Amino acid sequence: MTAFHHSFDRTVLREYDIRGIVGQTLQPEDAFAIGRCFGSIVSRAGGTKVAVGYDGRLSSPDLEPQLVAGLRACGLEVIRIGLVATPMLYFASYHFGADGAVMVTGSHNPPDYNGFKMMLGKKPFFGAQIQEIGRMAAEGDVVPVSTEGSDHKVEVAEPYVARVMQDYDGGDRKLKVVWDPGNGSGADITKLLTAKLPGEHYVINGDVDGSFPNHHPDPTVAKNLEQLIAEVEKEGADLGIAFDGDADRIGVVDGEGNILFGDQLLVVLARDVLKSKPGGTIIADVKASQVLFDEIAKAGGTPLMWKTGHSLIKAKMAETGSPLAGEMSGHIFFADKWYGFDDAPYSAIRLLGIIARSSETLGQMRAALPQVINTPELRFDCPEERKFVVVDEVKARLAASGAKVQAVDGVRVLTEDGWWLLRASNTQAVLVARCEATSEAGLERLKAGLVEQLTASGLAAPDFSGENAGH
């Protein structure tokens, strides 16, 4: 066998996954190299079996065979589960007893992107581990194999749906629900699940189409939920549920067409979980509202603020024994009855159970939460080499001024008005900011505090023109 060496474009090896623009920064030979290096890691850890799935992007059917070939070159058995939502791959890893798993997916990125998410054993594979793949490829540090591995195709939709439905606890109450999988790889499973649920279910954008003809598949952006909100209104539905491109993130709107942000959704889910897990640790990322942490404590839980990033949250859940966690981005992680990975269809089923058992509507649950005023998530460009430095500069100035700061991930500054956050993105050359207050005047003071710190580090103020998200 010829010696193996490969170099990746420097931009594709990210914190949580490998991701790039197909034909520019990401090529089919990269997929082979990922299989060859990740497969070597699995093999050296004593593993023999890897599960592989791919999303509905136009480039995914070209990348998946190359990935499989790389894994086979390590002598591994490859379980190919086909075109699926990312959580179905995670489920398959448990269901079929795999030693690792790789999903070919561009998640919620534009159509010309694609990438790879990985699990090693039952744990997320991220950070330094992803950088290690780059080193192994460059140095040709892979396992020598005398016998090529094998691959076979298996069906996972039926066992996945059966296992998800096992945890639906809403009885026979008939809800009216509109679903929008956004033409992503969660489309087919959405139709299979809704066929099993009581009530009336309407699926829009329910055909897998990697060109995403109707809207971008990112449910955290309000514009992408406009079609869902219109359908909820038209059908007089109890709620609407949206998924991102690979269905590991969820977006929700209530019967009045109001968006429930990730932290508001987590309040509803946490109250229910804490009934059977009193005192349980519920984890949310640093971008979440203070209302969430207060409501978790009020419901008898132990709130824990943690770093943004699905891999980081999953690792923290395992460490703390947390039954539930979530991010503002719509990643919801159930370890209560489930496996601890982010799974939008499963989270939807648990939410429907809560609503079906409640005397309140989802809209009433949302309206009863303490009202605060906050900015949307503000993302603004900052050179890669400056983004972490700027946060450190701000941190040092705040420390010198005696400000009250939480430094779990970037800086979250607490004042009498509320809080503001500044952190560096792990995946892009941007800084991320957010402000939350109990009054409009307080919000303006928080914004001014943020702008003052950015100016001191030579950066322009972010665009605050996006509508304030009152919640």
Domain topology for 373-470: TATA-Binding Protein (3.30.310)
Decide: 186 and 243 in contact? Cβ < 8 Å. Answer: yes
pLDDT at 464: 83
Q: Which residues contact residue 462 at a Cβ distance below 8 angstroms, ignoring those fewer than 6 apart? A: 378, 379, 380, 431, 433, 450, 454
CA distance to 46, 182, 371, 413, per residue, from 397 (Å): 49, 44, 31, 12
What pLDDT is stored for residue 377 in this prediction? 86
- Give the residue extent of every domain in the chain: 18-155, 160-367, 373-470
Of 150, 145, 51, which Cα lies nearest the Cα of 104?
51
Strands 113-120, 123-124: pairing is: antiparallel
Domain 18-155 annotated CATH 3.40.120.10: yes
Per-10-residue mean pLDDT of the chain, 471 residues long, equals 85 92 97 98 97 97 98 98 98 98 93 96 94 97 92 98 97 95 97 98 97 95 96 98 97 97 97 98 97 98 95 94 96 98 98 97 97 90 93 96 95 96 89 95 96 95 64 43
Q: Is the CB of residue 107 less than 8 Å from the CB of residue 244? A: yes
* Per-residue pLDDT, 468: 42
Residue 463 confidence (pLDDT): 83
Q: pLDDT value at position 471? A: 43
- Tell me the CA end-to-end span of the chain in Å, nearest whole number: 60
Exactly one of 60, 107, 289, 329 is catalytic; name it: 107
Q: What is the pLDDT of residue 2?
A: 62
Position of tokens 């509905």?
56
Alpha carbon of 236 to those of 103, 154, 229, 361, 435: distances in Å?
Answer: 37, 39, 10, 13, 34
Superfamily of domain 160-367 in CATH is Alpha-D-Glucose-1,6-Bisphosphate, subunit A, domain 3 (3.40.120.10)
Q: Are strands 49-54 and 77-83 parallel, antiparallel or unpaired?
A: parallel
Domains 18-155 and 160-367 in one fold = yes
Distance CA 84, CA 312 (A): 24
59 catalytic per annotation: no
CB–CB of 356/446 below 8 Å?
no
- Residue 220, CB-side half-sphere exposure with 13 Å CA sphere: 18
Q: What is the pLDDT of residue 15?
A: 86
Q: What was the pLDDT predicted at 466?
A: 55
